[in-house]
């Protein structure tokens, strides 16, 4: 005769299963989204130039400008996002992004710029929508870190798929982005359906992390007024971090070519998978820290250590004391130790610490908008001012300088928010 399962054990199993389920589904959903954004960067379009700028750079800038504008509009759009009907919004945005890749394959250069711009604008809203399914929970640190490493892993994996299509199947540079999207179309539809199956935060989640609500214009203005200096410090720090992360992401193929790994399509997945695992382990431990202020402080230290790792490894590479492969691995790890917290748990714990009724998406999109503005400015500067560094040289010096700025900004943020907390609890 079988033993009856107690209600307490059923409840425990459900509490354990739900975060894992949400984390896996969110990870796979956003990893699939990435297949419509980054694979085209594997193509170099050698010899094609317009207005004295390489076609590859023009395409990257065009997509990033669209992405950047979606972040500025997303400050309002994501902040006011309602929970009902999100899946329809995702399908419309993803369908538009994929259709743009088809037109990119059909039209001659330089008209592909138009469709990469629309592609970037459509995809820029997806992070905030996907994260809205998992924020405001006791397990959001774990779920968010798994979700956030999706763009480390998927950035490398989708590029490997794209390179495989070109090397093994002879797919052209213009058709490769659309074909990569075709491979991920059905999985993406499945994961969108599964996202909708994630139940909302329960009463205990709301008690510990505060209720997550759409934010009106007056809510947003009041919040920015209350935390103005801290938000400026965080945004500036994230701006420089985004510049280096985005340059690496967009020109990874160029850097690996310069380091002698041009035909090794597995190198993208290898380095990014290692980074994903390490960052996930580090950040997931924060779920064990229930006190929001303590976790918020520790996140600052994780970001500082990340900047130190990226900066020191870059100086060693420039000095010829570190191999290119080791340098790329350590810079990836260091930058993502800073970048991942800002995209998931930094603002999650901030809202919970100060008991703010709002949503994480608003803050992420404020930081992201200026981050991508900085990325566009740097890419344009390198082209128009004809800076004569190759991408590996430009990137290594840039990371070393940005690491110093990032450490200073994070220390300021730590001091500011600690003082703010003491003042608010008096």
Domains of the chain (ranges; CATH) run 19-421 (1.20.1250.20)
Could you give the CA distance from residue 95 to residue 48 in angstroms, rounded to a whole number?
A: 29
18/394: higher pLDDT: 18
* Confidence label for 14 from pLDDT (cuts 50, 70 and 90): low
What pLDDT shows up at residue 11? 47
Spatial neighbors of 342 by CB under 8 A, at least 6 apart, are 234, 238, 241, 303, 364, 367
The SS3 of residue 49 is strand
What residue has token string 């797919």?
A: 171
* Confidence label for 263 from pLDDT (cuts 50, 70 and 90): low
What pLDDT shows up at residue 406? 93
**Residue from 419, 409, 303, 287 nearest 349 by CA:** 287
Average pLDDT for 316-340: 86
Average pLDDT for 273-277: 78
Q: DSSP for 272-313, please give it.
A: HHHHHHHHHHHHHGGGG---HHHHHHHHHHHHHHHHHHHHHH
Q: DSSP for 72-89, please give it.
A: HHHHHHTTT--STTHHHH
Could you give the CA distance from residue 426 to residue 422 in angstroms, rounded to a whole number?
A: 6
Spatial neighbors of 378 by CB under 8 A, at least 6 apart, are 243, 247, 398
Q: Which two tokens stand for residue 42?
A: 């594997």
Please say if the pLDDT value at position 419 is more than 70.
yes
What pLDDT shows up at residue 8? 47
Please say if the pLDDT value at position 177 is more than 80.
yes
Q: What is the pLDDT of residues 144-175, one digit of tens each?
A: 888 877 777 777 778 888 888 888 888 888 89
* Percent above pLDDT 90 for the chain: 30
Q: To the nearest whole number, what is the mean pLDDT of the chain?
A: 84
What pLDDT shows up at residue 387? 60
Q: What is the pLDDT of residues 80-109, one digit of tens each?
A: 887 777 889 999 999 999 999 999 999 998
What pLDDT shows up at residue 261? 66
Please say if the pLDDT value at position 276 is more than 80.
no
What pLDDT shows up at residue 100? 95
Average pLDDT for 209-231: 86
Specify burial of residue 74 (Cβ count, 10 A radius: 0-12, 13-18, 19+): buried
Q: Do 309 and 241 form a contact (C-beta atoms < 8 A)? A: no
Q: What is the pLDDT of residues 361-398, one digit of tens each?
A: 888 888 888 888 887 887 777 666 666 667 777 788 88
Q: What is the pLDDT of residues 290-325, one digit of tens each?
A: 889 999 999 999 999 999 999 999 999 888 888 877
Least confident of 56-60, 174-178, 381-385: 381-385
Please say if the pLDDT value at position 28 is more than 60.
yes
What pLDDT shows up at residue 386? 63
């Amino acid at each position: 005769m079988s033993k009856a399962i107690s209600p307490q054990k059923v409840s425990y199993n459900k509490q354990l299963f739900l975060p894992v389920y949400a984390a896996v589904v969110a990870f796979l959903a956003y990893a699939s989204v990435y297949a419509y954004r980054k694979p085209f960067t594997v193509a170099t379009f050698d010899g094609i130039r317009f207005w004295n700028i390489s076609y590859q750079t023009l395409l990257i800038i065009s997509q990033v400008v669209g992405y950047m504008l979606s972040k500025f509009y997303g400050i309002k759009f994501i902040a006011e996002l309602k929970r009902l009907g999100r899946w329809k919004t995702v399908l419309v945005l993803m369908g538009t992004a994929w259709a743009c890749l088809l037109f990119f394959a059909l039209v001659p250069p330089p008209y592909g710029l138009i469709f990469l711009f629309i592609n970037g604008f459509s995809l820029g809203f997806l992070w905030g929508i996907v994260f809205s399914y998992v924020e405001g929970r006791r397990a959001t640190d774990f779920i968010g870190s798994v979700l956030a490493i999706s763009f480390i892993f998927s950035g490398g994996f989708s590029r490997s798929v794209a390179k495989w299509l070109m090397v093994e199947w002879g797919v052209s540079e213009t058709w490769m982005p659309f074909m990569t999207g075709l491979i991920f179309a059905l999985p993406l539809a499945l994961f969108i359906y599964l996202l909708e199956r994630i139940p909302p935060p329960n009463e205990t989640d709301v008690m510990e992390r505060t209720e997550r609500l759409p934010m009106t214009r007056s809510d947003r203005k009041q919040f920015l007024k209350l935390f103005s200096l801290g938000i400026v410090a965080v945004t500036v720090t994230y701006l420089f971090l985004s510049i280096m992360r985005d340059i690496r992401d967009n020109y990874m193929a160029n850097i690996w070519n310069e380091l002698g790994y041009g035909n090794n399509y597995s190198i993208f997945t290898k380095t990014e998978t290692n980074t994903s695992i390490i960052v996930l382990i580090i950040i997931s431990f924060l779920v064990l820290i229930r006190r929001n202020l303590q976790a918020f402080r520790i996140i600052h230290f994780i970001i500082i250590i990340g900047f130190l790792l990226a900066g020191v490894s870059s100086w060693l590479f420039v000095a010829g004391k570190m191999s290119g492969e080791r340098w790329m691995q350590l810079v990836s790890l260091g930058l993502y130790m800073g970048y991942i917290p800002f995209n998931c748990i930094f603002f999650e714990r901030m809202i919970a610490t100060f008991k703010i009724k709002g949503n994480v998406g608003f803050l992420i999109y404020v930081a992201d908008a200026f981050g991508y503005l900085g990325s566009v400015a740097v890419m344009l500067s390198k082209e128009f001012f004809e800076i004569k560094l190759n991408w590996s040289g430009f990137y290594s010096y840039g990371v070393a300088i940005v690491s110093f700025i990032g450490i200073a900004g994070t220390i300021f943020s730590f001091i500011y928010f600690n003082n703010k907390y003491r003042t608010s609890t008096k």
